Amino acid sequence: MEMISQACFGELEAINIDAILTMFDALNDIAFFVKDREGRYFGINRTMVRRCGARDKEEVIGKTALDLFPQALAETYFAQDRKVIDSGACIDRHLELHIYPGRSRGWCITRKMPLQDTKGRIVGLIGTSRDLGLPDDVNPAYRQIAHIADYIRENYQRNVCVQELADQAGLSLSQVERLFQKVFHHSPRQMLVQCRLSAARAIIDKKPDARIADIAHECGYSDHSAFSRQFKSVVGMSPTEYSRVAGRTGT
């Protein structure tokens, strides 16, 4: 089995991740990656190769997000890497919008955690980014929460209270959260954010000169500053940057 190692990766050279990569290569909806302390890709699966718009792994290994993605997005990803590596903090279940090569966009849930050597020193990070596809509607839990999900999708412009929806369904808030994770792989709050920001993207794509305050109001935000912050946190760029960068890629 080939050992993935290059001199530029320092302590990561000793880590044989071939077995892990082989396993993740079989998962088409999950991008898997390992990075060194400088944020350079040390190991990736085939899904990550496609997400970067590359033909093979060798085109990605040794590069950083800044080398591979549009600047606004890359700066967000790189800042995440620095937070994980410098502080040791994990990024867990972070909702993100990715702009893929080939003019398509997709929602995903990203996780990143520090990678330590045998002495406990942080030598890089390991992460996954899971595409959000169709819900698992054959799961027995789907019936219990389908109407809650439908309500969120149809009323995202309103002040949606998940606790009230849980009470109406005869469930506790923690039960609703747990069932959403089983069926949709993200929380009710993340579904609400996804609906609102998907609507905002559609408005920007159609009317790139629309006022940010008007877009925020139309998508359920009372504070356009809060809308801009959340948009950048999830999409990776501000509404204005999205209109300039992502809007040019089409839908």
List the domain boundaries for the chain: 7-131, 142-184, 191-249
For 134, half-sphere exposure in the C-beta direction (CA atoms, 13 angstrom radius) is: 4
Average pLDDT over the chain reads 86
Digit-coded pLDDT (tens) for 24-81: 888 888 999 999 999 999 999 999 998 888 999 999 999 999 999 888 888 889 999 9
Whole-number pLDDT of residue 15: 54
**1-10, 125-134, 153-162 — most confident range:** 153-162
Is the pLDDT score of 222 beyond 80? yes
Whole-angstrom distance, CA of residue 245 vs CA of residue 238:
10
For the entire predicted model, the pTM comes to: 0.78
Q: What is the distance between the alpha carbons of residues 112 and 94, in angstroms, rounded to a whole number?
A: 9
Quick: pLDDT tens for 105-147: 789 999 999 999 888 899 999 999 998 877 777 788 888 999 9
pLDDT at 20 exceeding the cut of 80:
no
For position 71, what pLDDT does the model report?
Answer: 82
Q: In this model, does residue 8 exceed pLDDT 70?
A: no
> Which CATH number fits the domain 7-131, given the four candidates 2.60.120.560, 3.10.20.30, 3.30.450.20, 3.30.565.10?
3.30.450.20
SS3 at position 242: helix
In this prediction, residue 6 has a pLDDT band, given cuts at 50, 70 and 90, of very low
CA atoms of 110 and 200, how far apart (whole Å): 21
pLDDT category, 3, cuts 50, 70, 90? very low
How many whole angstroms separate alpha carbon 82 and alpha carbon 179? Answer: 33
pLDDT band at 1 (very low <50, low <70, confident <90, very high): very low
Q: Per the CATH hierarchy, to which homologous superfamily does domain 191-249 belong?
A: Homeodomain-like (1.10.10.60)
One-character DSSP codes across 185-197: SS-HHHHHHHHHH
